[in-house]
Amino acid sequence: MWAKIWDKRRDIALWALTALAAAAFVAAGALKLVGADFEVEAFRNWGYPAWFRIAVGLVEVAAGIALLIPRVATAAAAALSLIMVGAIGTHVAYGEWAQALVPVVFLAALGWIGYERRPEGIEQRLHQPAWSHRA
């Protein structure tokens, strides 16, 4: 009985976190795409070209939406994790230590979302010897 209650609570927490992350990434990506002044200035100050801001915005919007689709949520979480690693690196490189905390938190959340939404059967494939797969 307790296992079912725990599973239900975990599912609710996972969906809530996924919805919050999706909303945050779609909003952040949209601001990059529309060229919000503070986004344009930030990317310019970091030395990134305008196309890079747009590319990051496109990935954030597309993968943010994809987080809500369980079948592709792991891939979306992986894509967004790469963006977060880049954001952490950028903030640290420019001495923006406090700003680096936000992508660290999102990276942890994306790790959990990606793990929980992983495709069924992946554990069995991961534990099989490489030579057992046929091309």
Over residues 71-84, the pLDDT tens digits come to 999 999 999 999 99
Tell me, yes or no, whether 111 lies in a domain.
Answer: yes
Domain that holds residue 95: 2-118
Tell me, yes or no, whether 25 lies in a domain.
Answer: yes
Nearest Cα to 107, choosing from 73, 69, 78, 70?
Answer: 78
Over residues 79-128, the pLDDT tens digits come to 999 999 999 999 999 999 999 999 999 999 999 999 999 987 555 555 66
Tell me, yes or no, whether 89 lies in a domain.
Answer: yes
Sign, CA dihedral 39-43-44-46, equals positive
How many domains does the structure of the chain reveal? 1
Distance CA 21, CA 41 (A): 24
What pTM did the predictor assign?
0.84
Tell me, yes or no, whether 65 lies in a domain.
Answer: yes
Identity of residue 45: N
